[in-house]
Amino acid sequence: MKIKHLLFVLFAIGLLSCEKEVSMEDQIMGTWYMPQALNRHTAGQSVDDVAGHSLNAWNYSMVITTNSDQELVDRTANAIGSITVSGDSEAEINFMRGWYDQNSGQASISFTNYNWYNVHETDQSTYVYGYVDNYSHEYQDSVNIWYNDSTGAYDTMGGWWHSDFISVYNSNNDYYEIREEIDFTFDGITLTIPSQTIGDTNSITIGGEMTHATIHIPANTPTEIFSYTGDTSWDFGSWAIHIEDDGRWVEVFTWEGQYDSSDVYHTYTDSTVAEWELDGDTLFVTYRYDDVWTGDGPGAGQGTWMYQIAYTYTLENGMLKLTNEYDLCQGDAHCHEWVEWEFGLDHGSLEEYKMVWALEFTKTPSARSREFRGPFRTVMGKFPPYKFMK
Q: Which pLDDT tens digit goes with each residue over 207-216?
A: 999 999 999 9
- pLDDT exceeds cutoff 70 at 300: no
Residue 372, CA distances (Å) to 51, 148, 242, 264 in order: 24, 42, 14, 17
How many C-alpha atoms does 296 have within 13 Å on its Cβ side? 0
* pLDDT category of residue 156 using cuts at 50, 70 and 90: low
Mean pLDDT confidence for 219-226: 93
Mean pLDDT confidence for 306-332: 89
- pLDDT exceeds cutoff 70 at 226: yes
Residue 120 is given by DSSP the state: G
Within 8 A by CB and 6+ apart from 221, the residues are 65
Q: What is the pLDDT of residue 383?
A: 34
Q: What is the pLDDT of residue 47?
A: 37
Mean pLDDT confidence for 211-238: 77
- pLDDT exceeds cutoff 90 at 147: no
290: exposed, middle or buried (Cβ count in 10 Å: 0-12, 13-18, 19+): exposed
CB 252 within 8 A of CB 380: yes
3-state secondary structure 47-69: CCCHHHHCHHHCCEEEEEEECCC
- Alpha-helix runs per DSSP H in the chain: 2-20, 24-28, 333-343, 367-371, 373-380
Q: What is the mean pLDDT of the chain?
A: 76
Least confident of 33-47, 126-140, 256-270, 340-354: 33-47
Q: What is the pLDDT of residue 215?
A: 94
Q: What digits encode the pLDDT tens for the residues 258-273? A: 666 667 777 777 778 8
Within 8 A by CB and 6+ apart from 123, the residues are none
- pLDDT exceeds cutoff 90 at 306: no
Q: What is the pTM assigned to this prediction?
A: 0.65
Q: What is the pLDDT of residue 114?
A: 85
- pLDDT exceeds cutoff 80 at 297: no
CB 336 within 8 A of CB 328: no
Q: What is the pLDDT of residue 271?
A: 78
36-40, 47-51, 60-64, 68-72 — most confident range: 68-72
* pLDDT category of residue 302 using cuts at 50, 70 and 90: low
Q: What is the pLDDT of residue 18?
A: 47
Mean pLDDT confidence for 22-45: 69
- Buried b / exposed e over 231-240, threshold 16 CB at 10 Å, is ebeebebbbb
Mean pLDDT confidence for 302-329: 85
Mean pLDDT confidence for 66-79: 91
- pLDDT exceeds cutoff 50 at 234: no
CB 282 within 8 A of CB 288: no
- pLDDT exceeds cutoff 70 at 52: no
**H or E segment at 225?**
strand 223-227
Residue 365, CA distances (Å) to 41, 190, 277, 358 in order: 20, 48, 24, 19
Least confident of 181-190, 313-322, 367-376: 367-376
CB 254 within 8 A of CB 238: yes
Tell me the three state secondary structure of residue 384.
Answer: coil
- pLDDT exceeds cutoff 90 at 128: yes
CB 249 within 8 A of CB 133: no
- pLDDT exceeds cutoff 60 at 274: yes
12: exposed, middle or buried (Cβ count in 10 Å: 0-12, 13-18, 19+): exposed
Q: What is the pLDDT of residue 259?
A: 63
CA 192-195-201 angle, to 5 degrees, is 125
* pLDDT category of residue 229 using cuts at 50, 70 and 90: low
How many C-alpha atoms does 374 have within 13 Å on its Cβ side? 3
- pLDDT exceeds cutoff 70 at 356: yes
Q: What is the pLDDT of residue 66?
A: 96
In single-letter form, the type of residue at position 227 comes to S
Q: What is the pLDDT of residue 303?
A: 60
Cα first-last separation, the chain = 57
Q: How far apart are CA 167 and CA 94, in angstroms?
A: 16
